[in-house]
Amino acid sequence: MSAPRDRRPRDPRRPGATSRSGSRPSKRPQREPRRPDGGVRPSPSAGSRGRAPREARGGERARRRPASPPPPPPLLRRTFRRGEPLGRIKVGGVLVLVILLLFAGRLVQIQVVDAEHYAEAASNTRLRTIDIPTLRGQITDADGNPFALSLEVRTVFVDPGVVDGDQRAQLIDELATRFDLERGEVAEKVDADPSRYEVIARDVLPEDWEELEELGLAGVGSKVSYNRVYPEETGAADLVGFVGDDGHGLEGLEGYLDDTLAGESGKRRVEVSLNGTQIPMAGGLVQEPEPGQDVRLTLDQEIQWYAAQTLADRVEELDAEGGSVIVERVGTGEVLAMADYPTYSPNDISTSGAEEWLNGAVSETFEPGSTNKVITLGAALEEGITTPETVYTVPYSIKYQDQTFRNSTNHGTQRLTVNGIMAQSSNVGTIKIADQVGAEVLHSYMEDFGLGQPTGLQLPGENEGILTDPEDWWGTQLPSVSIGHGLSVNAAQLASVYSTIANGGVRVDPRVVAGTVDPDGEFTPAKEPDRRRVVSEETAEQLALMLEAVTSDEGTAPEARIDGYRVAGKTGTANRINPETGSYEGGGYTATFAGFAPADDPQVVVQVVLHNPKETYYGGQAAGPVFNDIMSFALKSLKVPPTETDPPAIRLFENAP
């Protein structure tokens, strides 16, 4: 029977102590017990307890360990005595009182002293300032007929929060009937909660809104807006342009004169609901809208319409790529018509693109061809190099350095006067005269006539064309330029050349804007155009007679003659550059005709350009009939009386009587 187990807890640090059941024995070395005298007490052996240790081998005595230093004395804990609690209570009470006073003072400041400020700030969190649309100015012709105008329309809405319950059924019936809406759809908007703004109808005419407003139904209101409208078929879309969705001009005069036309929007404060809806009835007027000014043009709406229609018909008939027409009043520079084709409808720009929006009369350039010969011969006459009766030997062709120039028709060698060279549009005769004039002089006259520089119209997209400096002219540049090749112009520039001759040699910058009209109806005229003399009156008269010979039976444009009127003009047929090859080959032709009437007392200039006509491309045959139609209509519209004089006899050939 085993000895009873000692149930007393054992100190793990004591020799022979074991770890708890299930735990690992401690691996720390055990310190041997010490005797009171400082020696080492023998520890019991592993096999028996309480027995003396076995003698060390060889009789060696057990080693003694050095004495451990005595443990440090225990730390003394500092003790505090409680103070008097009444003092702390007083301090705490004072602090609480100060804090309460601060809160109370702040509340007084917010609710009494600065109450209005904070109320306004709170209101501002739900109020916004919005723009009130203003009436955009009209664009009209010289007589006030509109090319572009703004019509007032209304957006009708309901505020469900203020709808009178007794009027609910009547309100729903009225809105559904007047605006052709489903009754259920209207009822849903009238009863919408918590909405304060539900749109019922847009683009409502003012008179329709006034009828509804007179019924006095609570909760229904309207917002003013304006629609830009362009009367159909005015033929001036490329010049006038159009506005964007925000009401500001994007193209043409609408864009260029936007600051004048737009006016200044008003300001209104509106309440904004939790869902971000604007409630127009909740705000107040901050600033009255200022209407824009009307822009009055120099155009004649009837002539503009007729020119556009005639041009479009001819382009379609000849399967041309496009064309343009300028009609200008002689002496004032006023443009009566500026038409371009193809064109577009400004009421629906979604069916067109940037190419159609361009005003080709100023943006598209071309080589003027024979219409430029009037400058070459005018320079020779003005410089005294030749006279209208001077005779030149004109063969069918001429070689100039390494290039051969030919007339359009082979008449063999002729003896032509300068009058005849112009009438028959002789390339060879013109080159001979240009060689006498010289590059520097010819270039200076071209600049004086307005080529290679802005027209003065100040229209968007204008292309100044190309007129190379004479220092850069190569061997055959002089003869090429003299007959209208190697340079480019736009239709407005070329029209101005013939207007200068018709005006007795004085160039007047063309203009399309006559002035502005303020909201009170007061007209402010535009700045007077610049004027400068280019050739003498005598030279201009001589050129006019030569141009009149062009429309004779011996000339290149008898199709341009108008019964009852003396007509002066010049044909032009020029090669076009093929953009794919950079050369004339396969590029087609440009047909032009420019002239004025009556030749003895010029009143109107008409310039016609057809780009790459397919059926016939000679200027007289392609563009001449267009000139005839438009000039005839313009003379009648302006009530220009028929010519009372007969044209003088002009000698074209040396042996002619």
Q: Do 533 and 566 have their domain in common? A: yes
Residue 189: what are its φ and ψ, rounded to 5°?
-75, -40
Distance CA 24, CA 324 (A): 110
pLDDT (average), residues 202-214 = 92
Q: Which of 223-227, 321-325, 375-379 has the lowest mean pLDDT?
A: 223-227
Give the sign of the dihedral formed by CA 16, CA 17, CA 18, CA 19. Answer: negative
Question: Is residue 122, in this structure, part of any structural domain at all?
Answer: no
The two structure tokens encoding residue 128? 């916004």
User: Does residue 440 contact residue 434 with C-beta atoms inside 8 Å?
Assistant: no
Question: 506 vs 330, 338, 509, 526, CA distance in Å?
Answer: 10, 22, 10, 20
Distance CA 327, CA 307 (A): 8
When comparing pLDDT for 49 and 213, which is higher? 213
Distance CA 493, CA 465 (A): 9
When comparing pLDDT for 505 and 102, which is higher? 505
- Looking at the DSSP assignment, which residues form a beta bridge with residue 405? 398
- Looking at residue 94, its pLDDT comes to 83
Q: Judge whether residue 276 has pLDDT over 90.
A: no
pLDDT (average), residues 230-245 = 91
Question: Is residue 76, in this structure, part of any structural domain at all?
Answer: no
Long-range contacts of 523-532 (CB under 8 A, 24+ apart): 523/296, 529/332, 529/333, 529/456, 530/456, 531/506, 531/507, 532/448, 532/506, 532/507
When comparing pLDDT for 20 and 286, which is higher? 286
CATH of the domain at 210: 3.90.1310.10
The two structure tokens encoding residue 118? 């904070």
Distance CA 609, CA 366 (A): 9
Q: Do 217 and 332 have their domain in common? A: no
User: Does residue 254 contact residue 138 with C-beta atoms inside 8 Å?
Assistant: no
Provide the residue range defining the domain that includes 217.
132-297
Q: Do 285 and 311 have their domain in common? A: no
The 10s digit of each residue's pLDDT in 95-148 is 888 888 888 877 777 777 767 776 666 556 666 777 778 899 999 999 999 999
pTM of the model: 0.77
Which residue's structure tokens are 């020696």?
Answer: 39
Residues 6 or more apart whose CB falls under 8 angstroms from that of 80 comprise none
Q: Do 398 and 253 have their domain in common? A: no
- Looking at residue 5, its pLDDT comes to 45
Q: Do 280 and 379 have their domain in common? A: no
Q: Judge whether residue 280 has pLDDT over 60.
A: no
Q: Which of 210, 83, 227, 656 is nearest to 417 (CA)?
A: 656
Tell me the average pLDDT of the chain: 86
Looking at the 3D structure of the chain, how many domains does it have? 2
Question: Is residue 625, in this structure, part of any structural domain at all?
Answer: yes
Q: Judge whether residue 260 has pLDDT over 60.
A: yes
Q: Where do runs of H (alpha helix) occur along 271-367? A: 301-318, 354-357, 360-363
Question: Is residue 114, in this structure, part of any structural domain at all?
Answer: no
Q: What region, left, alpha or beta, does residue 233 occupy, with left being phi > 0 and alpha being psi -120 to 50 degrees?
A: left
Q: Which of 330, 336, 337 is nearest to 309 (CA)?
A: 337
Q: Do 220 and 258 have their domain in common? A: yes
Q: Do 312 and 284 have their domain in common? A: no
Question: Is residue 623, in this structure, part of any structural domain at all?
Answer: yes
Q: Do 325 and 184 have their domain in common? A: no
HEC states along 470-528?
HHHCCCCHHHHHHCCCCCEEEHHHHHHHHHHHHCCCEEECCECEEEEECCCCCEEECCC
User: Does residue 560 contact residue 624 with C-beta atoms inside 8 Å?
Assistant: yes
Question: Is residue 539, in this structure, part of any structural domain at all?
Answer: yes
CATH of the domain at 584: 3.40.710.10
Q: Which of 218-222, 484-488, 531-535 has the lowest mean pLDDT?
A: 218-222
Burial code of 229-240, b = ≥16 C-beta within 10 A, e = fewer?
Answer: ebeeebbbbbbb
When comparing pLDDT for 189 and 73, which is higher? 189
Question: Is residue 67, in this structure, part of any structural domain at all?
Answer: no
User: pLDDT category, 76, cuts 50, 70, 90?
Assistant: low
Q: Which of 75-79, 173-177, 402-406 has the lowest mean pLDDT?
A: 75-79
- Looking at residue 29, its pLDDT comes to 46
Q: Do 176 and 292 have their domain in common? A: yes
Q: Do 450 and 566 have their domain in common? A: yes
Length of the chain: 657
Q: Judge whether residue 214 has pLDDT over 70.
A: yes
User: How far is C-alpha 11 from the chain's CA centre?
Assistant: 98
Q: Judge whether residue 65 has pLDDT over 60.
A: no
- Looking at residue 101, its pLDDT comes to 85
Question: Is residue 88, in this structure, part of any structural domain at all?
Answer: no
Q: Judge whether residue 565 has pLDDT over 70.
A: yes
Q: Do 587 and 493 have their domain in common? A: yes
Q: Do 249 and 336 have their domain in common? A: no
- Looking at residue 126, its pLDDT comes to 64
Residues 6 or more apart whose CB falls under 8 angstroms from that of 188 comprise none
pLDDT (average), residues 348-364 = 91
pLDDT (average), residues 376-391 = 97
